[in-house]
Amino acid sequence: MTTSRGTRRADVQNVRLGQAPVAREDMLAVEEPLEIRLEWTEQDRLRVEPISVTMRTPGQDLELAAGFLLSEGVLRAKEDVERIGYCTEVTEQHYNVVAVRLAPGVRFDHERLRRNFYTTSSCGVCGKVSLEALQIQECPILPKGRPAVTPEVMARLPDQLRKAQPGFAKTGGLHAAGLFDAEGTLLYAFEDVGRHNAVDKLTGHALLTGRLPLSEHILAVSGRSSFEIMQKALMAGIAVVVAVGAPSTLAVDVARQFGMTLAGFTRTDGFNLYADAERVTGHRVSDRVSDRVSEKPT
């Protein structure tokens, strides 16, 4: 088995009923652990603590770490980061460990961050607690009417995102997150074996390049929309999320509570609109219709 950072070649047996197996090569998406360490100064002493381990596809690891810390409320802007890089021990480079050093004066809720390391919405935390956590992080209600997006633009985003997925074309095993402007122009896209990681890479890139908040942009994701996807979009100031798949109930709750527009089952001929129809222009969509669709998605 040969290896590159994001994909691997593997020898496989291709089996078809009624035919002899055929030996061939296949491309696999790489999945490896990434540890994120946080460094900060407390009482004139440097503290270093591992705060997360995620299974991800190698590549854009620094962006992934920054995006994760943005979603957890530790980082707010590029200026909050004093240094970010791979950890070095002696002379060896450990590419599966990224350390983020906070700039002097940056404050964060250390205990909440530690709790989130052990308890996430994917392992049982209830919806009420998740929504309260966003309120504690002082997430704002996003401004209404911005950006204004036509239904035609929203419907074509998944196809545009698919064209920007070279890893998926090779392996069929990678998710993607793409950032678009209100006219539907793709600005950049990131792939990862994890849906949440792809969004972290996107928002982390925006943070490290000083582009936050992304209030005039649209996030398109290749899979379904979950609480975590909506949380990460909200923390980056993204008001419009377009997903290929279905939303969870909690994703819809987040969208409605914080004034986000959420579309799911998005195809070239349309989509289901689950929250905040006011940003969708040139088409008469009522909030009542949006509510009804979210209860009974097609």
Tell me which residues are annotated as active site: 123
CA distance 241 to 219: 5
Residue 173 and residue 282 in contact, taking contact as beta carbons nearer than 8 Å: no
Q: What's the farthest any 2 CA atoms get from each other in the chain?
A: 71
> 289 vs 109, 262, 286, CA distance in Å?
40, 13, 5
Report residue 1 CA to chain centroid gap. 30
CA distance 146 to 154: 14
CA distance 261 to 145: 10
Helix 227-235 to helix 249-257 angle, to the nearest 10 degrees?
30
Beta strands in the chain (DSSP E): 2-3, 7-14, 22-29, 32-42, 45-56, 81-89, 92-102, 175-181, 186-192, 217-221, 240-243, 261-267, 270-275
Residue 272 and residue 265 in contact, taking contact as beta carbons nearer than 8 Å: yes
CA distance 179 to 185: 8
96 CB-near residues (< 8 Å, 6+ apart): 32, 33, 34, 35
Helix/strand number for the chain, H first, E second: 9, 13
